Structure 1
C-alpha cells in the first residue's frame, strides 16, 4: 500500500473500476502538468508532437502494435463512440455484442443505431462457462448475413470473464466481419499482443491495470482499416491548414482535438516502466491467488456460489450472492460504511455479484476482512 496514494483506512478491493496510480507515476504526471504551465505555447505547439510520438511508440511496443496504429484517447467509451459513428452502417446491418458488455460502450452503439437505423444484437453467453470454444460457439450463434461488426470485451467488466477474442476475431475475418475489442481490463492484467490478436480495432484504458493517471487510454486501428475511421471531434488535425504534420492521417485526425491537458498520456511510459519493474509475473500470480482465495472462501458461506472456474479469471473474480436476495446498493453501502471495504456489488441480468479485485497492494488480511464482513452481513438475520 505504501507505493500507492490509496487511503490506508480503506480496504480497497475495487481496482477494476478506476485503477490506482502509484506515487512515482503520479509524481511524473504532476511534473508534466508543471511543464505545461511553465510555458504553455512552447509546450503545446513546439514540444508536444514529439512527446506524444515518443509516448505512442512506447505504448504501442507494450501492446504489440505499430506506433502508427495507436492514438491516445481519454477512455474506451470515446473510442466506442468513434467507431459507432464512423462505420457506414445502415438499416440492413447489424452490430453483434454479447450480453456481458459495458453499459457506456453498449449505449454508444445503441445511440448510433437510433440515428443510422442499424440493429444492435445482444448474444447471450450463459454462466457458468465450460471452455473458450464453447464461449466462441455460443457467441457465434448471433452472427447472421447482416452482421457487419462484432464489438466484444477482452475481459468483461460486470462478469470478470476473459472471452476468447482471438478465436472470434479469426472467425470474423474469415467471414468478412469487422471486429472491435474493448480491452479496458486487459493490458496490465494479462499480456496483450495486438498483432497476434487480430482485431481490426481495439481500445483500452491505461489508468486501470496499467496504473497510469486517470483519463489515459488508447485506440488502435489496424493500418488497413484506418480509412474507415472518422474523428469523433473535428479539430486542427483534420483540415488542410493542419497545426501539426504527423506520420499519417489517422494520427492527425484523432490526436489534436483542441487545447487539452496531455499530461496523463505523457505519463503512460512511466506507468509502463513501473509495471515492468514492479508488477512481475510473481506479483500478478500473487494477486490472482488472492482473488481465487476470496472466491473459494466466500463459496464456503451458505448460499454463496462460485461463477467461473479458476482458469477464466485473473485479478478480478466474482462472488455470487443472488441466493441471498440482497439489495445490491444497500450491501455495497454497508460494506463500506461499517467495514471500510470498497468493493462493487453488481447487478447483471437477474443475478447479483460481488466483484473482488486484487493488485500489488492487496493482502491476505484484506481478503479475510471481506470474508468476515460477508459472514456477518449475509447471515440469516441480516440477509
Structure 2
C-alpha cells in the first residue's frame, strides 16, 4: 500500500509519523501560500488587516462554505476547535434543573470545558457511557438517546471521537433532538477533510471543525458553524469592534466573532490553497486508501495482541484514524515515550475507558512500511515491558 505524497509534505523523514490526528501536517505548497500571506501582512499591516481583512476573510469563508455545504455567513473562523466550543459553552443559557447530555468518548479538553460551564451555571452534565465493542449504529443510538430526559436541554456529541476514533451517527442524533426541541452541539474537530461533510444535511445547531488537521491548512485554523436561527444566541467570546460596528454588515454573527483584535489571519486566508491542493489530486481515492490502511493496521494490532476492536470493520464506524486496544497492564505513557525516542515513531498511545490503546492516523504521506515499523516496534516494546515487569 503506497499513496506517494510524502515529498509534498515538510515532515522529518527520519520520523515515522502516524499521529496526523494530533495537529495535522501542512503540505509544502500550502505552507508557501501561508508565508506569502504573512509577507503581505508585514509589508503593510494596516492595509492587510483594517482595509482588506474583511473582504479577504469573506472570500476565504465562501470557498470553505462551498466545501462544507452551507452559506458563507453561517461560518466564522476561529483558531482551534476549543475556541469555537468555548464560544458556544459561554453562551449557554442553562441553569439549575437543566441537563446537557454527552458521552464518555469526548475530548478531554472539551469535557473539562463543559464541566467548568456546568459548575459555573448550575446545570447538570450527564455522561452517557457508550460501551465498546459497538455492534450497530441503531444500538448505539438506542443507548445514547435512552439517556434523554424531560430536563435535557442540549446535547454535545463528537462526530468522530478523539479518544476512541469512532464515528458517531450525528445526523440521526440531531434529527431526534430537533423533534424534542433540544439544542445540538457537534464537535467535528477531526471530520473536515477526513469524512464527507455537509453541514446543512447534518443540521446541527452548532458545529465546530478543525482545518489544520485533515484539510491540512496551516496551524491555528478552524471554524464555527451556527444554524441561522441559532446565531443570535451566541455571545462574542472577545468583545471588540464587531459588537458595535461603525458600519453594520450583513451578518451580526460574523461581526461578533470575526474581529478579536490584532491577530494573524493568514492561516484563515490559506484555506483555499489547502482545498486546491487536494482538489488537484484524487482526494476521494487518497482518503479511501488511507482508510483501508488504517483499518488493516488496526486488524494487525488486534491480531497481534488478541484484543477486541472497539467496533466492526464496516466503514461507517471509522475514517483515516482508528484505535486498537493494547494488552491490559500496558503502561501507555512509557510505551509512548519509548516508541518516540527509541524507535522514532510518533503515534498516539493513551488510555480509553481506563484501558491502554494505540491510535493510528494515516495520511497521504504514509505507506505500509510505516505500519510495518509500528507493528514491529509495538510487538518488541510490549514484550520487553512484560519481561521487565516479570523480572521485578
Report the TM-score when normalising by structure 2.
0.95
Q: Which residue of 2 aligns with 1:286?
A: 289
Please say if residues 151 and 182 of structure 1, whose CA atoms lie closer than 8 Å, have aligned partners that are also in contact.
yes
Paired positions, count: 380
Provide the C-alpha distance between the structure 2 equivalents of 1:207 and 1:168, rounded to a whole number of angstroms: 26
Please say if residues 109 and 120 of structure 1, whose CA atoms lie closer than 8 Å, have aligned partners that are also in contact.
yes
Q: Which residue of 2 aligns with 1:347?
A: 351
Provide the C-alpha distance between the structure 2 equivalents of 1:344 and 1:207, rounded to a whole number of angstroms: 18
Q: Which residue of 2 aligns with 1:106?
A: 111
Provide the C-alpha distance between the structure 2 equivalents of 1:51 and 1:382, rounded to a whole number of angstroms: 58
Q: Which residue of 2 aligns with 1:260?
A: 263
**Deviation, structure 1 residue 278:** 2.6
- Aligned equivalent of 2:12, options 3, 7, 11: 7
Residue 207 of structure 1 aligns to a residue whose secondary structure is coil
Q: Which residue of 2 aligns with 1:229?
A: 234
Provide the C-alpha distance between the structure 2 equivalents of 1:93 and 1:6, rounded to a whole number of angstroms: 47
Q: Which residue of 2 aligns with 1:189?
A: 194
Provide the C-alpha distance between the structure 2 equivalents of 1:279 and 1:134, rounded to a whole number of angstroms: 35
Runs of 5+ consecutive residues of structure 1 not aligned to the other structure: none
**Deviation, structure 1 residue 244:** 5.6
Please say if residues 189 and 208 of structure 2, whose CA atoms lie closer than 8 Å, have aligned partners that are also in contact.
yes
Provide the C-alpha distance between the structure 2 equivalents of 1:156 and 1:278, rounded to a whole number of angstroms: 27
Please say if residues 77 and 223 of structure 2, whose CA atoms lie closer than 8 Å, have aligned partners that are also in contact.
yes
Please say if residues 318 and 353 of structure 1, whose CA atoms lie closer than 8 Å, have aligned partners that are also in contact.
yes
Q: Which residue of 2 aligns with 1:152?
A: 157
Instruction: Kindly report which structure 2 residues correspond to 1:236-247, keeping only aligned pairs within 5 A, or say none.
Output: 236-239=241-244, 242=245, 245-247=248-250
Residue 138 of structure 1 aligns to a residue whose secondary structure is helix
Change (3 A) 1:367 1:244: farther
Residue 141 of structure 2 aligns to a residue whose secondary structure is helix
**Deviation, structure 1 residue 107:** 1.4
- Aligned equivalent of 1:314, options 301, 319, 340: 319
Instruction: Kindly report which structure 2 residues correspond to 1:61-76, keeping only aligned pairs within 5 A, or say none.
Output: 61-76=66-81
Deviations 1:244-302 (A, max 9, x none): 64321000000001010000111111111112123522111111111112112122214
**Deviation, structure 1 residue 303:** 4.0
**Deviation, structure 1 residue 87:** 1.9
Runs of 5+ consecutive residues of structure 2 not aligned to the other structure: 1-5
Aligned pair 1:338/2:342, yes or no? yes
Please say if residues 80 and 109 of structure 1, whose CA atoms lie closer than 8 Å, have aligned partners that are also in contact.
no
Residue 280 of structure 2 aligns to a residue whose secondary structure is helix
Q: Which residue of 2 aligns with 1:167?
A: 172
Please say if residues 49 and 244 of structure 1, whose CA atoms lie closer than 8 Å, have aligned partners that are also in contact.
no
Q: Which residue of 2 aligns with 1:20?
A: 25
Q: Which residue of 1 aligns with 2:274?
A: 271
Q: Which residue of 2 aligns with 1:357?
A: 361
Aligned pair 1:52/2:57, yes or no? yes
Give the structure, 1 or 2, with the largest relative contact order (CA under 8 Å, sep 6 or more): 2
Report the TM-score when normalising by structure 1.
0.97
Q: Which residue of 2 aligns with 1:376?
A: 380
CA RMSD of aligned residues (A): 1.2
Change (3 A) 1:110 1:244: farther
**Deviation, structure 1 residue 304:** 3.7
Provide the C-alpha distance between the structure 1 equivalents of 2:279 and 2:65, rounded to a whole number of angstroms: 15
Residue 237 of structure 2 aligns to a residue whose secondary structure is coil
